[in-house]
Amino acid sequence: MKLYEQQELHIYNSLSKTKEKFIPIHEGAVGMYVCGPTVYSNVHLGNCRTFLSFDLVFRYLKHLDYKVRYVRNITDAGHLENDADSGEDRIAKKARIEMVEPMEIVQRYTVDFHTTMAQFNALPPSIEPTATGHIIEQIQIIEKIIYEGFAYEVNGSVYFDVHKFNETHNYGKLSGRNLEDMVANTRDLDGQSDKKNPQDFALWKKAEPVHIMRWPSPWSDGFPGWHLECTAMSTKYLGKHFDIHGGGMDLKFPHHECEIAQSEAAMNTDPVNYWMHANMLTLNGKKMAKSTGNNILPFELFSGENDILSKAFSPTVAKFFMYQANYRSMLDFSNEALVASEKGFNRMMEAYKMISEIKSSANSEFDTSKWKQSCYDTMNDDFNSPMLIAQLFEASKVINSAKEGKIALTSEDIETLQKTMHDFIFEVLGLEDTSAGQNNDGDKLSEAVSILIGLRNQARANKDFATSDLIRDQLKEAGINLKDGKDGTSFSLN
């Protein structure tokens, strides 16, 4: 009997705005599509949280013995500035500024994305298609939408007719927006636009002479609209109707709304059964933004080379921290929260390793079967990772008590504890055991440097600046940089 037959999974569906029992289209198989990155810059932590949220979904579905086809795209063309239908392609703009080929930009940041996700121990998707690799499929969908009467061509560009579509369909059903309200809150188009209405969106854009990235089509040499690629790739690899579509909360409108409209117009079917959206990540209570400096990249987090955090944190600790909030909740990234997560993770790993040291008894004082099912119950409740972690901490308390002889466990219970904790820590959450060497060594290093910082502070208080400078300089030679701030002295490693 497959594990999914023993468990009842419920998923929060952004379309119905309720939790629904998960029933796959094909028994034992799941098709899942997640919108991937636009590869024009380093992937940031907010992006990482989204992809790690769906890595958790992917891992749990696999753990339940489903056969999962997970498709996550790479956007390497067509995504214009400000998610608009005019302006410059984000990748082409970066290439122009750096005076390189656009595909050099694509290659550089695709490699960065893959490297970062590997550091987080995220599983690669089953298929990772690119927008530029599916131009033909996108053109075919445009032709079908035109044939069905829901798109029009003007001066070499093709636009989706939202008003015509809304006469027989419901544009806005995912985001809960009403087209009449959108019209009322929209300025009239200026004379430069080819659109009939401001709400219409581009399916194909005619390329200006300076536009580097272009392909031939029945309408012009140009490029596809941003929304179209996901419709083309999801339906090619998962079919016209599939199980799960995921992405960041910011993609719900207009990107995912437009995807639904395109699929319904071209294929006359609702494309997805369950829409899932991951919430955003903030930093110290504020939105992450490069322009304000309130931003930190993954490699800066892992290396400690930043002015925001007191030290470096491992990818596993950062991932553990992210999973301590439900994927649909907003989460604030801060030094204090990461420090607390690191301590909690290390405690949990110490307890897990202690299981083998427990002496078994003839009777048990802890119901491991009930606890094991509670772990599944939390994940069956819309992948509730914070409650799962709470259950793992509960087991850690039991393990510590059993090790001290305060609670009796049978050999079968000890085996159940060990396997269940292993499955959920390593297989489902995808965490790695860094506590054995790296993190414990890091704790010892932190303690040693803290002692030296204390001695340096004492020397400075005594106006013994020669000794103070000597400690700082010798630590620097050893690859440890001290940073003095208003909250004291911190350090980072070269």
Query: Which residues, 6+ apart, have CB-to-CB distance to 447 below 8 Å?
Result: none
- Round to the nearest angstrom and report the end-to-end CA distance of the chain: 52
Instruction: Express as a percent the part of the chain with pLDDT over 90.
Output: 78
Confidence band of 239 (pLDDT split at 50, 70, 90): very high
For residue 254, is the peptide bond before it cis, meaning its omega torsion is within 30 degrees of 0? yes
pLDDT in tens, 189-229: 555 578 999 999 999 999 998 888 999 999 999 999 999 99
Give dist(CA 492, CA 312) in Å, integer.
7
Which of 36-40, 242-246, 484-488 shows the lowest per-residue confidence on average (mean pLDDT)?
Answer: 484-488
Average pLDDT, rounded, for the chain: 92
CATH class of 282-428: mainly alpha
3-278: which CATH topology?
A: Rossmann fold (3.40.50)
Kindly list the distances between the CA atom of residue 9 and the CA atoms of 28, 60, 254, in Å, as whole numbers in the listed order: 13, 10, 29
Query: Which residues, 6+ apart, have CB-to-CB distance to 16 below 8 Å?
Result: none
The larger pLDDT score, comparing residue 442 to residue 51, is at 51
pLDDT in tens, 123-142: 999 999 999 999 999 999 99
pLDDT at 486 > cutoff 70: no
pLDDT in tens, 247-302: 999 999 999 999 999 999 999 999 999 999 999 999 888 877 665 667 889 999 99
pLDDT at 179 > cutoff 80: yes
**Where are the chain's structural domains?**
3-278, 282-428, 438-493
pTM: 0.87
Query: Which class for 377: exposed (0-12), middle (13-18), buried (19 or more C-beta within 10 A)?
Result: middle
Highest mean predicted confidence (pLDDT) among 28-32, 303-307, 452-456:
28-32
pLDDT at 4 > cutoff 90: yes
Query: Residue 443 has what pLDDT?
Result: 63
pLDDT at 440 > cutoff 60: no
Evaluate whether 282 touches 331 at the Cβ level (below 8 Å).
Answer: yes
When pLDDT is averaged across residues 330-345 and rounded to a whole number, the result is 95
Query: Residue 10 has what pLDDT?
Result: 98
Same CATH topology for 3-278 and 282-428: the answer is no
pLDDT at 485 > cutoff 60: yes
pLDDT in tens, 24-60: 999 999 999 999 999 999 998 989 999 999 999 999 9
Query: Residue 23 has what pLDDT?
Result: 98
Query: Residue 364 has what pLDDT?
Result: 93
Which contacts (CB < 8 Å, 24+ apart) does range 112-117 have?
Answer: 112/42, 112/43, 113/37, 113/39, 113/43, 113/74, 116/42, 116/43, 116/48, 116/298, 116/299, 117/43, 117/48, 117/51, 117/55
- Three-state DSSP state, 1: coil
